[in-house]
Amino acid sequence: MRIEILGAAAGGGFPQWNCNCRNCHSLRAGSFAAKSRTQTQVAVSNDGRAWFLLNASPDLRVQIERTPALHPRGPGRDSPIAGVLLTSADIDQIAGLLSLRELQPFRIYCTSSLRRILQEDNSVFGMLNRVPQQVCWMDITVDEGFPLVTTEGTNSGVCCEVFSLGNKYPVYVSPERATTLKPKEALLGLMVTASSGGRLAYMPAVPAINERVLQLLETADLVLFDGTFWSDDELIRVQGSGATAQEMGHVPVSGVEGSLRTLAGLQRPRKIFVHVNNTNPMLDESGSEYHELRAAGWEIAEDGWHFNL
């Protein structure tokens, strides 16, 4: 299975358009040992022909263009992108769907709760179903496995299983609507298994690390994990106000309950942070935070990285 990291930053990207924090300012000034990143986006393929997007970032159009494997191959209109799997209804995970609206047939795999938010409450996504042979919505169920299917309808060799990581829907989902949705479908973690048996754990947003998450991660060969914030009060310190990492649904990297410490015993998988916010001090590759995570066996994903499992 080929895995392409198309983007590795949290919402807003790095640098973020309206941010002049130390990281963003230094990066623009060219005086920073760090790399720019687009918003988190991953693509996987078992055979290098049929590709599947894990979520759909707001930067998707640019990310597809700079990834030759995702370019059209046939004459005229064509795309190797056979499907998109959604792990939440966050704008950062769904906005890219609007860049895939040019009457191309593909499948969207999501829970019935997410499908209702997109199809029933947000009419703009109706553009994905302007003609009969366009997007096919595939309801998926928490804790059940399912195959990703090629455009022709054959098994791609990639199997997925989703599990619940949280019960908070995005703030744009009205409280009235949220009461009609299944809490456990609000935020999913994903395990992707290739025909080779290689396993990718994809968790760009993790509110808390429980025993189940630990067990799942230990069965993976590659872990792409929530690296949004270094510390719980990071945004408050940088901006002067705001929410904590935990309030925003992200376990911080550092601290007593942080991922570095909680996942210290993880032996089997290669461990890589994705979804890194522009304020995160670990982006500075000359800094102590970066050296601390490297010493703990972690890496920070960069746009353009790829893996084979």
User: Using CB under 5 A as the criterion, which residues of the chain lie in contact with Zn ion when the complex forms?
Assistant: 19, 21, 24, 278
Q: How far is the CB of 23 from Zn ion (least distance, A)?
A: 5
Nearer to Zn ion, 37 or 115 (CB): 37
Q: How far is the CB of 289 from Zn ion (least distance, A)?
A: 15
Q: Choose among 16, 7, 70: nearest CA to 235.
A: 16
Nearer to Zn ion, 127 or 236 (CB): 236
Question: With contact defined as beta carbons under 8 Å apart, do 283 and 23 qualify?
Answer: yes
Nearer to Zn ion, 21 or 91 (CB): 21
Nearer to Zn ion, 185 or 234 (CB): 234
Q: How far is the CB of 12 from Zn ion (least distance, A)?
A: 8
Q: How far is the CB of 276 from Zn ion (least distance, A)?
A: 11
- Helix/strand/coil for 161: strand
Angle at 94 between CA 222 and CA 80, to 5 degrees: 65
The pair phi, psi for residue 280, each rounded to 5°, is: -70, 120
The residue with tokens 């989902």 is 173
Q: How far is the CB of 29 from Zn ion (least distance, A)?
A: 13
Nearer to Zn ion, 94 or 238 (CB): 238
Nearer to Zn ion, 53 or 245 (CB): 245
What is the per-residue DSSP string for 244-271? Answer: -TTTTT---SSSTTSHHHHTTT--SSEE
Sheet holding 199-203, edge to edge: 145-149, 155-166, 187-193, 199-203, 222-226, 270-274, 298-300
Question: With contact defined as beta carbons under 8 Å apart, do 97 and 89 qualify?
Answer: no
Distance from C-alpha of 289 to C-alpha of 107, rounded to nearest angstrom? 40
Q: How far is the CB of 27 from Zn ion (least distance, A)?
A: 8
